[in-house]
Structure 1
Amino acid sequence: MMWVHKFLIAALTLSLSLFATFAAGTAGAQEVSWPQEISGDQGTLVIYQPQPESLKGDKLSARAAISIELPDTDEPIFGAMWFESRIATDLDAGTVDVLDIKVTKAAWPDSKDAGEQRLMQFVEGAFPEYGLSLSYERLSASLETADIERKSLEALKSDPPIILFSEELAVLLMYDGEPRFEPVEDSPYERALNTPFLVAKEKSGSLFLSDGSHWYTAKDPLGPWALTTKPPADLAKAVAEGAAMDTTEGAGRAPAIVAATKPTELVVTDGKPDWQSLTGGEILYVQNTETPWLRDLPTGNMYILLSGRWYRSKSSEGPWTFVPANELPPAFAEIPPDSDIGGLRSSVAGTDEAEQAMLDAAIPQTAAIVRSEAELTVEYDGSPKFEKIEGTSVAYAVNTGAQVLRIDDRYYAVDDGVWFAAATPTGPWTVADTVPESEIAKIPPSSPVYNVTHVHVYESTPEVVYVGYTPGYIWSFPYYGVPVYGTGWYYPPYWGRYYYPRPPTWGLHVGYNPWTGWNFGMSWSNGFMTIGMSWGGGWGGAYRPWGCCGGWYGGGYRGPTIINTGDINIGNNINIGNRTEISNRIGDNNLSLGDRGGNKNLYQRPENRDRVASKRQRDQLKQARPATQRANNVFADRDGNVARRVDNGWETRDKGQWNRQSSASGASNKAENLGNRASTLPSTSRDLSTQRNSNRSSSFNRSQMDRAHRARNMGGSRERARRGRRR
């Protein structure tokens, strides 16, 4: 039967794609050490870990403590440099390359004014021939002291979905509107198009649903659904062969099926809610559920976390009211990180975990796209149809699985984080090296193409175009100090000869934690989604990337990135579990890395790699090497004072010596001990900007240094944890 072969090929392709992307992401993990050094005939320049001052797109402005080691001297010359640069990121590998470095100024506590210009020439001469590399975790943590955009997106919606509760294992069968069916080619069945599950209909009108282990039947798509041991033989055979169906008697518990046609979330407990105490008795939480469900005892209010948004009610019957993450009860911020619900701290504004999530979101994923290798074909359901976006001069194509915009009679399309341009809606399409960003930026969250406002073109050469996207492209947004998933708007699908679903916020039980990023919940629904996605070669053919965890939703690339735990104890939950449990399960390779690991980088997916420039094509730079014999404990404040962290205190550099600082801000006087050392450096005629000692503050800013030290330690800890998980 031809339809069976199509089914098997789709399932096999999905599995191979998952394996390849995960393996590539893991193999790409690198260890990046600081400080780093550049050696030449004139000496060695040591650069301590940069301290960002601003990050805008792929442009990083930073300062770094440095030292110069000359061949004929025993002591290094310490200073600080400021630079502007471009970053190239690979979040799968966990690395950030700092490229095209332009040193803008320097300060020298160890120098005389007369020697500063020559020292500056020595430093500037090392760049931009060399680049630097640091880990994604180190850059993210260090952004705590930088200027980055932190505003919430006011136009997001937070109206609660329909919230249902079940005290037995149950799965939400979500339809995108009223169920619609279409014949499956070369088969005697029809299938429901507008759901990610396999819902098949016989000519008799009987309906069947499977998760690969259990079969259900119903007379109506909305149920009631009942277990059956006698599904149609040909249908059961196709599903069993394509999904490695577990035919052992009593394989797992069979969940009940709850159907819905409007935005809905299903909160399931394994029996009666099992309330447990936490945080000095001020918070109770339900242990036997995957949904973050808490009660604040001082007020008696219940709180539920859905797609990163908090909702409050006096009882499970509702009504439910949205609560901004910065207005939660104080006890929420005191949830112990290693408790069963420690992962919830990422959704509580003001915690370290929430702050780190906001910093993570500021770093774009970047790529250099080879013009000659990037192609795009856009198919429409009939002639192209465009719909105007209110309040803008932009219209978007509604009858295609691509994201195509019309602006001033020119056409732009985004495909996996790359902009393309064409004179007609059908192409030919070429990689765009400029787009009308001011007009695109006006697209509101109420539009289903809002995510393209988070894709950018940075610069270009005749061979490559430098592009990047931030998490908004995959529907993750900052909101009241925490990450949320989805815009909250409902986007009606397009129906024609084909069905094009739009990106959902609700119904997938999406949750976030700081170790794996966004994930699907409801681990026991994995089989339903996988079977549904494979049936007929995938669901729909919708915009990409739609879903939360790599873009499976609506004909994306892969099924849910979850595991089948067999139970729903909150301590095992991928959305809100504790740090130790999450770390162990990642290390055991039985938990998806979600948005933190393999397949996070859209540019590195197998189908996209040919169009991405190799590192040599992209950079053609030498890389500084780790200075392994030195501690990464030297910092520079914004005034150019240099200090190092020792024994929980600070020493500042003054007159060629390290002096202990015991007060909040110690003096840092002009150093005058460079002597003749600077005269050994070559002089050039270039007039480079140098920050004179006389322009620097004489005060050591301990507050700046303490924050920078804390951020550096946090970044190093996160980097080591990531490396440990991937070994």
Structure 2
Amino acid sequence: MTSMKITLPLLFAITVLTITNLAAKTLNPPADPGWPRQRTSEQGRLVYYQPQVDAWTNFKELSFRMAFSLTPKGGKEIVGVVEVQAQTDVNMDDRSVLIRDFKIKEVKLPGLDPEKTSQVDQAVRSFLPPDHTAVMALDRLVASVEKTQAPATVQVQNDPPKIFVSYTPAILLDIDGEPTRAEIADTNMGFVVNSNFPLFFEKGGENYLFTGQQWLKSPILEGPWAPVANLPKDMTKVANDPQWAQMKKPILSPSAKGKPPTIFYSNKPAEVILFQGQPNYANIPGTQLTVATNTDADLFVYTPTQAYYYLAAGRWFKASDLKGPWTYTTPDL
């Protein structure tokens, strides 16, 4: 009888674990790692961005374009756009789409020396062979489909984001839509839920922003923002609240030292082109392009027209001046 008492619970535990593992495999969708993605080989590295869908015929055959940057081994970065046709398999259980059977229709390489075009074309095709596959979240793909094919509630937005430019340290205070404010219990403080930086406010008073290095304050979110060495007294209560444990040290030891960064505020999609000083550009051999070298942004200048080309969220935007206005230009590359 003793062995029976041991065996039954053990079998039950194994059964529960097995069912749990099977359920986890069923419920957890294949990872959509997001964009951009990259592939490496002996030839170098290819970074490719989220597909821009032209057509999804019968929700099986997918025609799309992808911006990419190719860095040959020991060479300079080359940018372009690849047009692809592929087949898709939709899995409604985990809301994913398998993109397979890649057929590259065209590789566009604006400004590249014609003598090098064929070599680069073949290199791109080697990174994305016919047997290449990619998993993409169904909702992400549907959001990329043109309005004529997508459900009536889905619209393709190619409007340029607000593009800020700075030559000194700066951060983007990004609020997703209108600010959503929540009060902090038993204090005179609150916080903005949909902010990308820790953002607090005193009821009827100032806003307090933590940049990661120092605290700034402003009566309005649009600024101007100024350094502050002393936070409201009730922020001590916030620091001692377990919910805000990660903010305890910066709250209890606030710093206003150093020159504050420029704060760019936006409640709509926005990007910051951040230079380290005045812009520096370098020629890309064999092309009529120069690339900005003292910024992390993908920013190029087409020398015959002095037009700027900026890659953001897998889409190309063009302007005659860094101050804008910017226009969507991916189809024209």
TM-score norm. by structure 2 comes to: 0.49
Which is greater in Rg?
1
Bigger relative contact order, structure 1 or 2 (CA pairs below 8 A, ≥6 apart): 1
> Normalised by the size of structure 1, how large is the TM-score?
0.24
Higher strand share: 2
